[in-house]
């Protein structure tokens, strides 16, 4: 009987996982490494979320957040009915959408091309050249744009030789989106390709060797070996990018603004800055910023749902 009980106990399924305290004692060093990032996230990400309540109040710095009068959705209605809403919202959406559409495939193409470079030294030099623009300050990048695209800059000198007159790139609103997106691709595409290069490094060389023996050309090997390998990463990166589609970098857009290109350069982040910090209407600017965040969350959930359906479960969550 005892042997039977011992045998049943030995064959019983082992509980998966352990209590949190047991896991904490076992992996305490890993939790210590995680602690600083967790504390900073709570302080700087979740802590300020309490201040979002002023979007629903007639906020007064003297009365404070709790003492200010509750006005509900008035600030949101004010923004949605504002004559500037259509222009600002569409400017933000167009700049984000076209930026995502044009910039998303470039890092993938760079990674696929880098993966074909077999000479290690040449590959490292190319990577260094591609990654370097990411470390240039936004202020410096915009300064370079103003210098190169100025009426007397090198690009306009070529344009003047060909057409007889320069193009006011930084003053004409129709050029703003193109300059913004192309400069973003130049500064960020190389750095964004790192994750794809790392994923492609895990591809078994025997797969390419076998495909070569079967007569597959380069494009066929990329299509049937490389792209399936990085497809889950592509899905996650796309979902995150789409989830932040309305979160355009404020600094670059604001620095590139001139009085002449405002019809296309005025976006939600710059509008929030001007209304909130320059005009002092904190409640209204908070409502605009919260509206922007809600749109991002909706896009994140929607795109994740669509990608999971199309990619057989490859989603963010």
Residue range 188-242, pLDDT digits in tens = 999 999 999 999 988 888 888 898 888 888 899 999 899 999 988 888 888 888 8
Tell me which residue has tokens 């309305």.
Answer: 246
Judge whether 59 and 288 are in contact, CB under 8 Å.
no
The CATH code of the domain that includes 202 is: 1.10.3720.10
In a domain, residue 165? The reply is yes
Tell me what pLDDT residue 14 has: 46
Answer yes or no: is 7 within a domain: no
Number of separate domains in the chain: 1
Q: Which residues contact 200 (CB under 8 A, 6 or more apart)?
A: 111, 112, 115, 226, 229, 230
Instruction: Give the structural domain span for 272.
Output: 82-310
Half-sphere exposure of 113 (CA within 13 A, CB side): 12
Q: Using the 8-state DSSP alphabet, how is residue 118 labeled?
A: -
In Å, how far are 22, 44, 102, 153, 191 from 36, measured between CA atoms? 21, 12, 36, 47, 25
Q: List, for residues 246-302, the tens digit of each pLDDT value.
A: 777 788 999 999 888 999 999 999 999 999 888 888 999 999 999 988 888 888 888
| CB count in 10 Å sphere of residue 111 | 24
In a domain, 74, yes or no: no
**Predicted local confidence at residue 4, as pLDDT:** 47
Q: What pLDDT is recorded for position 239?
A: 84
Asked if residue 45 lies in contact with residue 51, where contact means CB atoms within 8 angstroms, the answer is no
Q: Is residue 239 part of a domain?
A: yes
In a domain, 14, yes or no: no
Higher pLDDT pick, 197 / 7: 197
Contact status, residue 130 vs residue 189, Cβ threshold 8 Å: yes
- Please state, in angstroms and rounded to a whole number, the distance separating the CA atoms of residues 209 and 7: 50
Within 8 A by CB and 6+ apart from 86, the residues are: none
Q: Is 20 within the bounds of a domain? A: no
pTM of the model: 0.82
The pLDDT tens digits of the residues spanning 134-190 come to 999 999 999 999 999 999 889 999 999 998 889 999 888 999 999 999 999 999 999
| DSSP secondary structure letter of residue 136 | S
Q: List all residues 6 or more positions away from 157 whose beta carbon is below 8 Å from its beta carbon.
A: none
CA 136 to chain centre: 18
217 lies in some domain: yes
Domain-located, residue 296: yes
Question: Residue 60: is its pLDDT beyond 70?
Answer: yes
Q: What is the pLDDT of residue 213?
A: 86
Q: Are the beta carbons of 205 and 259 closer than 8 angstroms?
A: no
Q: Over range 91-97, report the average pLDDT.
A: 90
């Amino acid at each position: 009987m005892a042997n039977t009980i011992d045998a049943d106990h030995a064959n019983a399924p082992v509980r998966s996982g352990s209590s949190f305290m047991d896991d904490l004692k076992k992996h305490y060093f890993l939790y210590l490494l995680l602690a600083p990032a967790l504390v900073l996230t709570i302080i700087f990400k979740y802590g300020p979320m309490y201040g979002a309540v002023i979007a629903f109040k007639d906020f007064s710095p003297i009365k404070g957040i709790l003492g200010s009068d509750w006005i509900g959705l008035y600030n949101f209605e004010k923004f949605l009915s504002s004559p500037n809403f259509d222009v600002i919202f569409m400017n933000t959406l167009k700049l984000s959408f076209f930026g995502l559409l044009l910039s998303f495939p470039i890092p993938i193409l760079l990674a696929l091309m880098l993966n074909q470079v077999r000479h290690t030294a040449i590959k490292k030099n190319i990577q260094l050249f591609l990654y370097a623009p990411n470390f240039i300050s936004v202020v410096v990048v915009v300064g370079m744009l103003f210098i190169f695209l100025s009426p007397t800059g090198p690009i306009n000198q070529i344009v003047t030789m060909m057409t007889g007159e320069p193009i006011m790139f930084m003053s004409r609103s129709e050029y703003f989106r193109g300059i913004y997106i192309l400069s973003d691709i130049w500064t960020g595409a190389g750095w964004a390709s790192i994750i794809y290069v790392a994923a492609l490094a895990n591809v078994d060389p025997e797969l390419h060797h076998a495909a070569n023996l079967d007569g597959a050309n380069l494009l066929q090997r990329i299509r049937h070996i490389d792209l399936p390998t990085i497809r889950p990463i592509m899905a996650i990166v796309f979902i995150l990018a789409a989830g932040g589609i309305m979160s355009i970098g404020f600094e670059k857009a604001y620095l590139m603004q001139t009085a002449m290109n405002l019809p296309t350069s005025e976006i939600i982040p710059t509008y929030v800055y001007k209304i909130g910090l320059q005009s002092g209407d904190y409640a209204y600017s908070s409502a605009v910023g919260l509206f922007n965040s809600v749109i991002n969350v909706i896009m994140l959930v929607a795109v994740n749902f669509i990608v999971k359906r199309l990619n057989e479960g490859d989603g963010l969550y």
